[in-house]
Chain A
């Protein structure tokens, strides 16, 4: 019985943790959207900044991956 409750808590927690991935999606969209609007204003400067954009994407996406990881840990490791 107690194990079932623990398991239920783990599954609920995993679902809650997955909401963090939505935030990462919003963040990545923000990064790329702002990059694009800047790039369309000044296309000549855009080429040199793609690396910066990817670093930004990586940072915001990593947080989504962390929340996914928490979900996986709750699902499979607890």
Chain B
């Protein structure tokens, strides 16, 4: 500013002029202009900033970051392990289920086999018994039939005899003389008819 001297004489002093003169605060301790532009303070700030950044860098790189990385890695490992264990257990559960199903199927098949065998056995027995009974029945029936035939034959003879005798008697009573041969023939013919 070209008018610094005159301005100062009139009571207005440019803050830049004061800062150039090495003053950043007024007599009351208040700010002149922008404290950010005060060159006197920059060295101090830069020095402490560098110190702070170096301290933070060492705290982070020596202690904090490796520790957090280790914790995160450990957690990742734990999670992976747990997941693997869960996977194993799942596989085992599936295997157990398969074994159970297999045992169940086996038992069922065996039961069916036993049932089929028993059924076949029982059927055989029943068939045998039926066959035996049938045989017995037919034997009995044949016997009965033979008897009936015998009885019938007997009865026929008896009827023939009776009829012969009766016919002879009737013929005799009528006053004829019964020819035995003729009577027999006639009776036989009648009986057949």
Contacts and interface: CB of A to CB of B under 8 A. Distances in A.
Interface of A: 1-4, 6-7, 72-73, 76-78
Nearest to A7: B12
Closest 10 A/B residue pairs (Cβ): A3-B12, A3-B7, A77-B33, A76-B33, A77-B34, A2-B3, A76-B34, A3-B10, A77-B15, A77-B16
A72 B34 contact: yes
Contacts, number: 34
24 contacts: A1-B10, A2-B3, A2-B6, A2-B7, A2-B10, A3-B10, A3-B12, A4-B12, A6-B12, A6-B14, A72-B34, A73-B34, A76-B15, A76-B31, A76-B33, A76-B34, A77-B15, A77-B19, A77-B34, A77-B37, A78-B1, A78-B14, A78-B15, A78-B16
Nearest to A2: B3
Interface string B27-61: 00001011001000000000000000000000000
The CB with the most chain B CB atoms within 10 A, among A2, A4, A7, A72, is that of A2
A73 B19 CA distance: 13
B interface bracket (residues with beta carbon within 8 Å of A)? 10 to 19
A36 to B, nearest CB: 33
Interface of B: 1, 3, 6-7, 10-12, 14-16, 19, 31, 33-34, 37
Contact of A6 (B1, B11, B31): B1
A76 B12 CA distance: 13
A65 B6 CA distance: 33
A17 to B, nearest CB: 14
Contacts of A77: 15-16, 19, 33-34, 37
Contacts of B3: 2-3, 6
Nearest to A72: B34
A3 B6 contact: yes
Given A73-B34, A77-B19, 5 more contacts: A2-B7, A6-B12, A7-B12, A78-B1, A78-B15
A73 B35 CA distance: 11
Nearest to B37: A77
B132 to A, nearest CB: 86
A78 B6 CA distance: 15
B92 to A, nearest CB: 38
A3 B11 CA distance: 9
A73 B33 CA distance: 8
